[in-house]
Structure 1
Amino acid sequence: MRLLLTSDTHLPLRAKRLPDQLLAELQRADVVLHAGDWVDEATLDLLESRSRRLIGVYGNNDGPGLRARLPEVARADLGGLRFGVVHETGPAQGREARCAARFPDLDVLVYGHSHIPWDTTAPGGLRLLNPGSPTDRRRQPHCTYLTATVDDGALTEVTLHRLPPR
């Protein structure tokens, strides 16, 4: 099962549209996970129409329309792994322990908010993944997103994709 992980698209505030490379990944993904800060409902509509399966949450910059359509936390069993998606996890210091305590029933937690790509494993085995942002790199050298594969109950081929400058 191929996964596409993204977050913090902030359209149309940070960019006018999603990058072509990310849109091309939609066609290859079995599941798309978006960790919030869509900003506009048109981006949600686009991903819903082009994805086989979309799992998304709202972020701190998402208004009432998106909050009415999306949960704050989403959970899904994907290929035998228990996934969670949330926008904010708090400060980087102590994140692993804090998330492991908050989500003891998960194998993988996808989150956003910081725009900083992150891949770590908490004590106890919770994998934490932040795909960064495909449209707003902030202080990072590149805009980014992640792809991954779930195979026989294991998360494999987790790849950070750097997008060309816009």
Structure 2
Amino acid sequence: MNVIIVSDTHMPRMAKELLKALKNELYHADLIIHVGDWQTQAVYEELKSFAPIKGVYGNVDEAFFINKFNEKLILELESHRIGVTHGHGKGKTTEQRAVAQFQDDDVELILFGHSHIPLHKEYDGKVIFNPGSPTDKRRQARYSFGKLTVERNKPLHIEHVFFNEK
């Protein structure tokens, strides 16, 4: 299963359409996971034209997302449990808030966004991953999103896709 992970698209404020580097990967996606701050329903409509979508809402999302998605999600893909949250809130760092959301859950991967800072590391026996943003890199060198390969009874393979041009 080929999964594309996006966060913090902030569309149409930060981009009028999905960017070419992202679209090229979406054509091959079996699933899209959006970890919040979509901003408008048009982003959802465009993404779902490529593949089924799972996701959570973020702190700037309109009512459509709050009504359709939750703040926290646990996905079971093949033999893997994946936690998904945006990571917004008060106190602690974004990373700490994301990890805390799943402290009582048996997940092997935690996906989160909010900071726009790409991150991929192991923490307390779990992999934590922030795809960054494909439209709003802020102080980062490049735009980014994530690719996850899921196979039953095989380790998850997750990586960033970085690109320079909007």
Q: Considering the TM-score relative to the shorter chain, is it more than 0.5?
A: yes
2:15 maps to a residue whose letter is A
Q: Detail structure 1 runs of 4+ shifted over 6 Å in the superposition.
A: none
Q: CA deviation at 1:49?
A: 2.4
Identity %: 34
Residue in 2 aligned with 1:5?
5
Q: Is the 8 A contact 1:131 1:160 kept in 2?
A: yes
In 1, the alpha carbon distance for the partners of 2:102 and 2:18 equals: 32
Summarize the Cα distance change of 1:79–1:36 in structure 2 as closer, same or farther, 3 Å threshold: same
In 1, the alpha carbon distance for the partners of 2:95 and 2:8 equals: 21
* TM-score (structure 2 length as normaliser): 0.89
In 1, the alpha carbon distance for the partners of 2:66 and 2:97 equals: 25
Q: CA deviation at 1:92?
A: 5.2
In 2, the alpha carbon distance for the partners of 1:49 and 1:24 equals: 13
For the residue of structure 1 that corresponds to 2:156, the secondary structure is strand
Tell me how large the CA RMSD over aligned residues is.
1.9
In 1, the alpha carbon distance for the partners of 2:42 and 2:94 equals: 31
Q: Is the 8 A contact 2:57 2:70 kept in 1?
A: yes
For the residue of structure 1 that corresponds to 2:43, the secondary structure is helix
Summarize the Cα distance change of 1:93–1:128 in structure 2 as closer, same or farther, 3 Å threshold: closer
1:91 maps to a residue whose letter is T
In 1, the alpha carbon distance for the partners of 2:96 and 2:66 equals: 28
Q: Is the 8 A contact 2:109 2:127 kept in 1?
A: yes
Q: Is the 8 A contact 1:100 1:126 kept in 2?
A: no
For the residue of structure 2 that corresponds to 1:106, the secondary structure is coil
Q: Is the 8 A contact 1:87 1:113 kept in 2?
A: yes
Residue in 1 aligned with 2:105?
104
Q: CA deviation at 1:56?
A: 1.0
Summarize the Cα distance change of 1:74–1:97 in structure 2 as closer, same or farther, 3 Å threshold: closer
Structure 2: which 5+ residue stretches go unaligned?
none
* TM-score (structure 1 length as normaliser): 0.89
Corresponding residue pairs, total: 162
Q: Is the 8 A contact 1:8 1:36 kept in 2?
A: yes
Q: CA deviation at 1:164?
A: 2.3
Moved more, 126-135 or 24-33: 24-33
Can you list the C-alpha shifts for 1:139-161, whole angstroms capped at 9, x where unaligned? 100110111211233202x2211
For the residue of structure 1 that corresponds to 2:46, the secondary structure is helix
Q: CA deviation at 1:93?
A: 7.0
